[in-house]
A = this chain, B = another copy of it.
């Protein structure tokens, strides 16, 4: 198996701690691939703002960014008195946890990283290196999980499949497509553009292009029609959180595509990475983030005249907007949840927790 050439297949390509500069370096996913620009964050607050402003998106990546932000806080406060540095690290964790409520990864990695730091401080040691090592270990593990999940998903793909996807399903999507290609399967990807941030038109389309996977973009209102015309074989996307009873939350729009797939008897597979959140019993327990209404009044892209990233106002003034960033799909609409430990029926996803690791 050769390495997947997609930039977003390896999280270290997009986020890292730079010890020399004392900064967290993040790929600006609002611009990529129109521009490959990195943002340097010099405080945990700057990392938190970058997460809130969608510099980094996707459940695991934004969790890793937050973890690196906590490492930054740990390094920066290491010279302070014991009580002060402990308080500062806790405050940074609280701030980073408050950025995004829906995906569960953030709410696992930051508390765990904080615990690692606190344990060091309990031993009167400096917490920075330990927190950073923990987070880098989580990123490495996340890369392995993505590849394993993508490998199981590739097993679901048949030669000639036309796969609909929504938003950017992350590194596992890249691995799934790459491994299927290496297995000699021809795949045609249909990404929705995914308003308002257009992750499909940018991140998913760029990822497919980097791997030489044929890619036909559609807008978010087209999936049901394509299904009715027999153009789609499978719907595959990711999940920001999976509940113990097999509900999934993912980018707004997933639910209505799942309804359309169900109506047309097409399978919907979820790239479930490292499985369900042990803390979340069912869909009603998932907090759905509501972002600023203003964000749906604009479209980002590249100015065709200047060639530079920019944005345009697409809506009239004087109206309200509503921007729920995620929705919830119930287990009866899902054919299977693909994880690094195999493929589960949604109603049996709880079994992931006891399943053998395939890593």
Residues of A within 8 A of B (CB): 33-34, 166, 190, 192-196, 198, 201-202, 205-206, 208-209, 214-226, 228, 251-253, 255-257, 259-260, 263, 293, 296-304, 310-316, 318-324, 327-328
Contact = CB atoms under 8 A, between A and B. Distances in A.
B221 A315 contact: no
Given A209-B318, A312-B311, A263 B259 contact: yes
A315 B220 contact: no
B252 A222 contact: yes
As for how many copies of this chain the complex holds, the number is 2
Nearest to A218: B322
A207 to B, nearest CB: 10
A319 B222 contact: no
Contact of A312 (B297, B310, B315, B324): B310
Contacts of A218: 296, 321-323
B311 A302 contact: no
A208 B263 CA distance: 33
A324 B222 contact: yes
A326 to B, nearest CB: 8
Given A219-B296, A319-B205, A320-B217, A224 B314 contact: no
A225 B201 contact: no
Given A221-B194, A259-B259, A319 B252 contact: no
Nearest to A191: B319
A20 to B, nearest CB: 33
Contacts of A194: 221
Contacts of A190: 322
Contacts of A260: 256, 259
A318 B208 CA distance: 10
Given A217-B296, A228-B328, A322-B218, A223 B256 contact: yes
